[in-house]
Amino acid sequence: MRLVVAECSVEYDGRLGARLPPARRLLVFKADGSIAIHADAKAYKPLNWMNPPCTITEVDGTITVANPGGERLIIELLDVVFDERFELGDDPGLAKDGVEAELQELLAARVEALREDFKLVRREYPTDLGPVDLLCRDGEGRAVVVEVKRVGEIAGVEQLLRYQERLDLDGTLAPTIGMFVATRIKPQARVFAESRGVLCVEVDLETLRTGAPAGLRLF
């Protein structure tokens, strides 16, 4: 990973076009080929980014990041304050608690329990924010992003929305549908999820273990 803190301007040349005027920002270049440009605000959200695979070239203080779709980020470094590289190695990933891990495994084995027309694309589908629990397709071929929790809270819905935001950048998946699955979903989380178009499903762990058809509640 390479971290750069610099006074810089950024231009995006792609589907829309956008420009960040000169300011001090953090540039994060990851080993997977992604880049994210951060300000000291907006929490986890970058001001702009590019998902892998990317080609990165640097000439005379100008960094150009291009993807196979022809989109480009052009970063002009005006004053570099910090520029260091770090070797992080392989990450073991987020460790779920036992119930979440078992729920995910059981649902991956029979995603039709969530909806009859579901087909599993992949369990632990990778994104630059972490793996999506389950990526499915419904009977109409639409991509469904499934986030599994033991207890559904607002933070879990926000995590699902972040995954959807990333996957919606992929033309083969967009627009995605979000589904939030838990043994119990708190009322505030359900209201928030529904306001964002996310489907909420409560599941019964024992029912899934026995393979019985009942035990799911869709809100």
Instruction: Examine residue 138 and state whether it is found in any structural domain, yes or no.
Output: yes
| Out of 13-17, 45-49, 199-203, least confident range | 13-17
Whether the predicted pLDDT of 92 surpasses 80: no
* 174 pLDDT tier (thresholds 50, 70, 90): very high
Whether the predicted pLDDT of 190 surpasses 90: yes
**Domain identity same for 80 and 102:** no
**Domain identity same for 118 and 212:** yes
Write the CA distances from 120 to 83, 86, 107, 131, 142, integer angstroms.
42, 36, 9, 15, 12
Instruction: Examine residue 93 and state whether it is found in any structural domain, yes or no.
Output: no
Instruction: Examine residue 42 and state whether it is found in any structural domain, yes or no.
Output: yes
Mean pLDDT of the chain: 89
**Domain identity same for 56 and 158:** no
DSSP symbols for 69-108: TS-EEEEEEEEEEEEEE------------HHHHHHHHHHH
Whether the predicted pLDDT of 214 surpasses 50: no
Average pLDDT over residues 23-40: 93
**Domain identity same for 28 and 135:** no
Q: Which CATH number do you get for residue 81?
A: 2.70.180.20
Instruction: Examine residue 125 and state whether it is found in any structural domain, yes or no.
Output: yes
| Out of 63-77, 157-171, 198-212, least confident range | 198-212
Whether omega before 213 lies within 30 degrees of 0, making that bond cis, reads no
Q: Please state the domain count of the chain.
A: 2
**Domain identity same for 111 and 209:** yes
Instruction: Examine residue 90 and state whether it is found in any structural domain, yes or no.
Output: no
Q: Among the three residues 33, 61, 85, which one is the final residue of a domain in this structure?
A: 85
Q: What percent of the chain has pLDDT over 90?
A: 68
Instruction: Examine residue 91 and state whether it is found in any structural domain, yes or no.
Output: no
**Domain identity same for 71 and 29:** yes
Angle at 23 (CA atoms; ends 17, 27), nearest 5 degrees: 75
**Domain identity same for 115 and 207:** yes
**Domain identity same for 144 and 207:** yes
| Out of 43-52, 121-130, 153-162, least confident range | 43-52
Q: Among the three residues 85, 107, 132, which one is the final residue of a domain in this structure?
A: 85
Whether the predicted pLDDT of 45 surpasses 70: yes
Whether the predicted pLDDT of 218 surpasses 50: no
Q: Among the three residues 64, 85, 106, which one is the final residue of a domain in this structure?
A: 85
* 219 pLDDT tier (thresholds 50, 70, 90): very low
Domain residues for the domain of 81 are 2-85
**Domain identity same for 165 and 116:** yes
**Domain identity same for 118 and 203:** yes
Q: Which CATH number do you get for residue 153?
A: 3.40.1350.10
**Domain identity same for 43 and 136:** no
Instruction: Examine residue 147 and state whether it is found in any structural domain, yes or no.
Output: yes
**Res 213: pLDDT:** 54
**Sheet (strand 217-218) strand order:** 119-125, 132-137, 143-152, 177-185, 199-202, 217-218
More confident residue, 129 or 175: 175
**Res 96: pLDDT:** 56
Whether the predicted pLDDT of 157 surpasses 70: yes
**Domain identity same for 62 and 112:** no
